[in-house]
Amino acid sequence: MLNRKTEWKTSSRQAVGGAGNEPAASAAAPRRRTLPRLLSSSPPRRKRRHRLLEMTPRSAHVISTRSWAMPVIMCLLGILTVKVFFLSRSDEYVSSSRVQEMVEVEVQRRVQQQVSLLNSEPHTLPSEERGPAVANNFPPTADLSEKDRMRVLVTGGAGFVGSHLVDALMKMGHDVIVLDNFFTGRQKNVQHWIGHPSFHLITHDVVEPIKLEVDQIYHLACPASPPHYQYNPIKTIKTSTQGTLNMLGLAKRTGARMLLTSTSEVYGDPEEHPQRETYWGNVNPIGPRACYDEGKRVAETMMYAYENQGEMEVRVARIFNTFGPRMHPNDGRVVSNFIIQAIQGKDITIYGDGSQTRSFQYVDDLVRGLIALMNNNYSGPVNIGNPDEYTVKDFAELIKSSTESTSKIIFMDGTKDDPNKRKPDITLAKKELGWEPTVAVKDGLVETIKYFRGELKKTGEIIPTGPDASKPRNFADPDPPRQLRSP
């Protein structure tokens, strides 16, 4: 070993010393692989290093280590293979394909459990909670011919007005698609149609585009009560602008006629009374109500821009205050608040001195008006409302007597930009649509009071929403969606 080391050093030195390509020196050198020769040879670097190792004392150790390592490794591998073999035959071992199989079986079991729950549930629930109809007990629908039946999209169809419109369209025999993000809408409003082959419910936000095949679009999606639309004003603006653009895009692509539910709020605090469609309005563009009022005004603008530019068919309904069953108990609107306060014997709160006027129409009249407008040739904006005008104070008195309540009427500070007067001129609707309201306010109130009494019975106390911006309250919903009920 020592000799080899010395030789190595010597030959290295020689090689360095004779770097001048001296043939004599090369010839004299022993025929042994020296470092310079190794470096000048051509094999790849790794191979060279390997050879170099072989020349060192360490290489002997490596080689000797390898000589006993191989059998040991082989032996270990053998033991491992035998162990795996026995394990695979024992109960403890579960292969990946077996795991997948077990997961699939479990998923199937849970799906079956849910399905049988859904099938059995309506029969096990008390009839009062079941809602008006379930599964094969739908309200009657007309049998329209293929040629007359349309696919009708109702955005905001799970809301107060939307759900009544859906009822009417379903009863007429159309295929109805409800699209709603459930911000203020509730599934219980359309619960009685779930499972009907002509009814489809899509949870979707109109601010996002959607592709559907439809013949008509009623575009209602937008919160309508001031505390709710003021809760997230930017979202309200987006809903009225981007949401309407998306629906217009859909209408244009499918060739569908589209109706927008605009509002009497486009007249703002009006200087003309009663308000005709020709009146341009008096809206504060930066006030707390602007997100809704201006949003609807822009939506109208877009409707007519598309009509003029895109040869589309559009309809615009300017809706005045509407009331009826399925109003959200916490929407903070005049009718719902007064009724809830009156039947609970709480103070009836008027914001302002109560001299401001409102005209209220029953929801059935509105729905008739919307359908008449959609299917009419007149395409300009049309007021849909009941000209039966009340001061807010008189209306509070009417609610108090209709509910036989002992509540006190109290007055609070007025709210900003609250319109002073509101009454529709419906000459145009009468002329063009042959439409006018037929339900007297007092009769409509009977139905609405009955509805609120029912809500109160199911939920217990209801605290009405004040005028400040607030999120729709999801208090214990008396009729949660069927899927979510526990067994």
Ligand X SMILES: NC(=O)c1ccc[n+]([C@@H]2O[C@H](COP(=O)([O-])OP(=O)(O)OC[C@H]3O[C@@H](n4cnc5c(N)ncnc54)[C@H](O)[C@@H]3O)[C@@H](O)[C@H]2O)c1
Q: How far is the CB of 225 from ligand X (least distance, A)?
A: 6
Closest approach of Cβ 224 to ligand X, in Å?
Answer: 4
CA-CA distance, 434 to 426, in Å (whole number)? 10
What character string, x for contact with ligand X (CB under 6 A) and - otherwise, covers 114-153?
Answer: ----------------------------------------
List 11, 34, 141, 181, residue binding ligand X (CB under 6 A): 181
Q: Is 362 designated active site?
A: no
Among 11, 34, 184, 386, binds ligand X (CB under 6 A): 184
- Say how many residues touch ligand X, by CB under 6 A: 29
Q: Comparing C-alpha atoms, which of 174, 159, 168 is closest to residue 229?
A: 159
Q: Which residues pair with 424 in a beta bridge?
A: 275
- Counting Cα atoms < 13 Å in the Cβ hemisphere of 84 gives 7
Closest to 154 in 3D by CA, of 141, 144, 166: 166
319 binds ligand X, rule: CB under 6 A: yes
Q: Which stretch binds ligand X (CB under 6 A): 92-100, 179-187, 351-359, 435-443?
A: 179-187
Dist CA 329 CA 160 (whole Å): 11
Residue among 148 and 468 whose Cβ is closer to ligand X: 468
Which residue, 254 or 322, has its beta carbon nearer to ligand X? 322
Stretch that binds ligand X, among 51-59, 135-143, 320-328, 401-409 (CB under 6 A): 320-328
- Least CB distance from residue 359 to ligand X, whole Å? 11
Q: Which of 322, 337, 405, 465 binds ligand X (CB under 6 A)?
A: 322
What's the distance, CA 117 to chain centroid?
A: 26
Map the footprint of ligand X across residues 262-291, applying CB under 6 A.
263
CA distance 341 to 349: 8
Comparing CB distances to ligand X, the nearer of 175 and 205 is: 205
Q: What DSSP assignment string belongs to 208-223?
A: S------SEEEE--S-
Residues 62-81 that bind ligand X (CB under 6 A): none
Total length of the chain: 487
Q: Which residues contact 112 (CB under 8 A, 6 or more apart)?
A: none
User: What is the closest distance, in whole angstroms, from the C-beta atom of residue 307 to ligand X in the complex?
Assistant: 19
State the minimum distance, in angstroms, from the CB of residue 197 to ligand X: 23
Beta bridge partners of 31: none
- Quote the least distance from Cβ 238 to ligand X, whole Å: 7
169 binds ligand X (CB under 6 A): no
Least separation in angstroms between residue 235's CB and ligand X is 7
CA angle centred on 278, ends 372 and 316, rounded to 5°: 35
Residue 426 found at the interface with ligand X (CB under 6 A)? no
**Tokens at 63, concatenated:** 């080689």
The verdict on 336 binding ligand X (CB under 6 A) reads: no
Which of 230, 261, 275, 383 is in the footprint of ligand X by CB under 6 A? Answer: 261
By the 8 A CB rule, do 393 and 356 touch? Answer: no
190-249 positions binding ligand X, by CB under 6 A: 205-207, 220-224, 239, 243
N-to-C CA span, the chain: 86
| Amino acid letter for position 386 | N
Beta bridge mates, 177 = 153, 200
Which residue's CB is nearer to ligand X, number 15 or number 214? Answer: 214
Which whole-number Å values give the CA distances from 5 to 9, 38, 256, 417, in the listed order?
Answer: 6, 16, 96, 103
Among 377, 381, 257, 240, CA closest to 311: 257
161 binds ligand X (CB under 6 A): yes
Catalytic residue among 231, 292, 306, 390: 292
Footprint on this chain of ligand X (rule: CB under 6 A)? 155-156, 158-162, 180-185, 205-207, 220-224, 239, 243, 261, 263, 319, 321-322, 328
Positions annotated as catalytic residues are 292
